[in-house]
Amino acid sequence: MAHGHSTDEYLETIYFLAFPIGEYRPTGSGNPTLSARVAEMLGVSRASAGEMLKRLEADGFVERGEHKEAILTPTGRVRAEQVVRKHRIIECWLTGFLGYTAGEAHIHADDLGDSFSDDMIERMNEKLGRPERCPHGWPVETAFEQAENQELAPLAQLAPGERATIVRLAEHDGELLHWFYDNGLAPGTEIEVRAVEPGGREVTVAADGTERAVGAKAAAGLYVRRAA
């Protein structure tokens, strides 16, 4: 991405790393450091991500854990939760009111995050009828999101023969987000895993009677609810 990322975008990214996984696991040997993962998600260099993490630490939003991993402080967590909630409400407004597609909404919402006051966001939320989820399936209320995390799994964890419903799509990668929609893999779609390539490089799923190959990156970014 050409433009620099704001504090809020970093907090949003750290939030996404912290909560879909459920917890921050200390990075063991061979695992990428947090700054590397943040850099990868934002498409910036490891050095710029490291610098921004230092700033977030100085501002009291992030602290270093036992193994030097970055974790959100209570203040950082509150701020990050406000940022993601705001982002999701703006996305609902972009798709529900301005007619943008779900694929387009995420990047526009990132650009608009700082444009609206908290009061404007609450008014927007009311006008939209308090939507439960963003267009990509992420709950607007973060407490609900975190509770629901336990019920979901990335597609990559499913075995052949398992059936599931797509609930959420990873949205930090614009190209991948468009790929999900172009391939009919939107929230609410029912899928069945037909095959899993050894090593998890690719998963073949059936959706709407059509088989599709889903690469490892996409399979890690599709969050599903297993059929009962």
Residues interacting with Zn ion, by CB under 5 A?
A: 91, 134, 136, 171
Q: Is 157 exposed, middle or buried (0-12, 13-18, 19+ CB in 10 A)?
A: middle
Scan for tokens 């987000």, then name that residue.
177
The residue among 70 and 110 lying less far from Zn ion, judged by its C-beta, is 110
DSSP string of 73-110, one letter each residue: -HHHHHHHHHHHHHHHHHHHHHHHTS---HHHHHHHHH
Cβ at position 50, least distance to Zn ion in Å: 27
Cβ at position 122, least distance to Zn ion in Å: 19
The residue among 132 and 197 lying less far from Zn ion, judged by its C-beta, is 132
The residue among 79 and 88 lying less far from Zn ion, judged by its C-beta, is 88
Alpha carbon distance, N-terminus to C-terminus of the chain: 41
Cβ at position 137, least distance to Zn ion in Å: 7
Cβ at position 169, least distance to Zn ion in Å: 8
Query: How far, in Å, CA of 1 to CA of 129, rounded?
Result: 33
The residue among 49 and 104 lying less far from Zn ion, judged by its C-beta, is 104
Instruction: Determine phi and psi for 192, rounding to 5 degrees.
Output: -135, 130
The residue among 77 and 136 lying less far from Zn ion, judged by its C-beta, is 136
Cβ at position 181, least distance to Zn ion in Å: 12
Pairing of β 70-72 and β 163-169: unpaired
Query: How far, in Å, CA of 178 to CA of 170, rounded?
Result: 11
Query: How far, in Å, CA of 72 to CA of 74, rounded?
Result: 6
